[in-house]
Amino acid sequence: MSLSCSLKSCSSIQSAAPLKPAAKTRQQQHSPCSSNPSSQRITCKRYPGALLSLPLKRGAFLGCTVTLHSTHDQQSSIRSPQRGVKGQHRKVPAAKLTLEKETQTQAKHGGEKEGLELPPGSLGLPIIGETLELIRSLNPENPDAFSGPRQAKYGRIFKSNALGRNFITVSGPEAAAQILTNEKLYATEWPRSFKPLIGEHALSMTNGPKHKYLRALIANPLSLENLKTYVPLIERAVLSLLDSWQEDTILKAHQEMRRLTFNVISELIFGAKPGPQTERLSGHFDVWVQGLAVLIPIDLPFTKFGKSMKARRAILSEVAQIVGERRTALRNGEPVPNDILTRLLTEKDAEGRQLTEVELSDNLLNLLFAGHDTSASSLSIIIHSLGSRPDVQQKLRDEHARIRSGKAAGEPLTWQDVRQLAYTDQVISEGLRLRPIVGNAFKVATEDTTMYGYRVPKGWSVNLDYRAVMCRDSYFPEADQFRPERFDEKLKPYTFLPFGSGERQCPGSALARMEMTVFLYHFLHLWDFELTNPSEETVFVPMVRPKEGLPLKLRRRVNFQ
């Protein structure tokens, strides 16, 4: 989850009907995977007279009865016991029993989906699929090392198998519309490390009625009316940070952005001022976030994931202390801050329900994470991009000067001022597009369906690739260039999705946009800066950030208007 997204929502698409078949590429036409429905197979090791179970995903197995004859040249048969599928007997060599791809995945076929092929691609080796290829492709500086070559070969949709899961990776605004407007057909399913680290009761981890119930309670403190009251707090935090910087020094800007955003979200949630407690919490999050990038989460003291889980327990311990003190103050009728915690402790939904203790803990952790790491990453990307575009810096300063011209010296920003900074909003949007903080939406098909003319079986994971659209020339000309003016034009729906859409759009997105706007307004007014390494690379795992921490040379501006 992230707390950043557009204040101007994309136009909605009215229908999420199955997508029309796409024209096959030359590679697809000659690919045995796409032209022969029975070409993807998984080998069963021979166990005479036994029931063979193959793990397809956590908690689910594929069973098949295997009968072997004694002579080497005789044939053996496989019978699929899947409910709803008529058992089929296939004659295959005894040395190599196979399960057709349909018996791997489908519990039923029907209607227009019957007879459709799976998307092109490869399910890899028996049992392990393409897990080894996925592991070999891991590169924190190239998040598309696995999917990129496959998209180049197969196009906007391909299939694979890794880590015990069959999955489909898909891109394009049509697919985004189909997936993001149909929560019942495409339920959210995060990577395995996310749920134990974030918490199974966190808003971003839930689906269906539980998600709607949590969203109703958690989104209210982040509503437009409440956002207006947060501007003074954010401005104080920004000015405090900028005043602490020293001239003619090298400053690691990314760490400063993390410090700013954590101080802001801590005060918004708990009313906590910067101090030992916020420093401890921030340190725990530094360790905690590393576990999100773990492919196989093993909770042992010496593993990265185990250390992250230990950090989670430390975070929850700090949070529990704060919550306990606040509950006591409320019971005793003592004055308390009108912050997010107070609202979550006192507000009820339409049916009179309040958050349980575990729901409160998981969602406070989720808010703390989403409210600082993602916003810090976005600000760092924007600062880096501005470093090589003095013309954009000047346009921003000109826009900000127009706001200042109507104010007395030192007069604070207001919500109305923030809303008038249209070009600043475009700069933020371009930073979010250029280096999306959330590159994918992870879903699972709850029913058999179709996409781009291919079959998507029930139970398969569906990975919607945001980056493949937002960073593609066909939707954003010169996509690798930082061009805020591109947002002068109307965008095609579902092409700009830095933080989701529909029911899953981050509820705190406008808060982070406001935070970034206030920072840029004061930063460019008070400081000139120079990138020490204009070609600094970006790291995408576990969070998007400049590889070297974004070192800047600072010079205080004195003769500004």
Burial class (CB within 10 angstroms; exposed 0-12, middle 13-18, buried 19+) of 20? exposed
Cα–Cα distance, 18 to 428 (Å, whole number): 33
Residue 356, CA atoms < 13 Å, CB-side half-sphere: 7
Contact present, 19 and 510 (Cβ < 8 Å)? no
Strands 461-465 and 165-170: parallel
Rounded to 5 degrees, what are φ and ψ at 129?
60, -130
Render pLDDT for 519-553 as a digit per residue (tens, 0 to 9): 999 999 999 999 999 999 999 988 899 999 999 99
Evaluate the omega torsion of the peptide bond into residue 232 and state whether it is cis, within 30 degrees of 0.
no
Is 478 in a helix, a strand, or coil? coil
**Closest by CA position to 380, among listed 549, 495, 497:** 549
Cα–Cα distance, 160 to 172 (Å, whole number): 18
When pLDDT is cut at 50, 70 and 90, the band that residue 304 belongs to is: very high
Residue 120, CA atoms < 13 Å, CB-side half-sphere: 23
Largest Cα separation within the chain, whole Å, is 96
Tokens standing for residue 245: 């910087």
Q: If residue 340 lies in a helix (H) or strand (E), which one and from where to where?
A: helix 340-346
Render pLDDT for 343-391 as a digit per residue (tens, 0 to 9): 999 988 888 899 999 999 999 999 999 889 899 999 999 999 999 999 9
Distances (CA, A) of 50 to 13, 57, 58, 91: 51, 21, 22, 18
User: What pLDDT shows up at residue 560?
Assistant: 53
506 among annotated binding-site residues: yes
Cα–Cα distance, 455 to 542 (Å, whole number): 32
In total, the chain counts a number of residues equal to 561
Domains and CATH numbers, the chain: 203-556 (1.10.630.10)
When pLDDT is cut at 50, 70 and 90, the band that residue 66 belongs to is: very low
Which has more confidence, 140 or 44?
A: 140
Average model confidence (pLDDT) across the chain? 82
When pLDDT is cut at 50, 70 and 90, the band that residue 79 belongs to is: very low
Amino acid at 516: M
When pLDDT is cut at 50, 70 and 90, the band that residue 559 belongs to is: low
**Closest by CA position to 519, among listed 376, 367, 334, 384:** 376
Cα–Cα distance, 93 to 86 (Å, whole number): 22
Report the predicted TM-score, pTM, of the whole model to 2 decimal places. 0.78
User: What pLDDT shows up at residue 114?
Assistant: 61
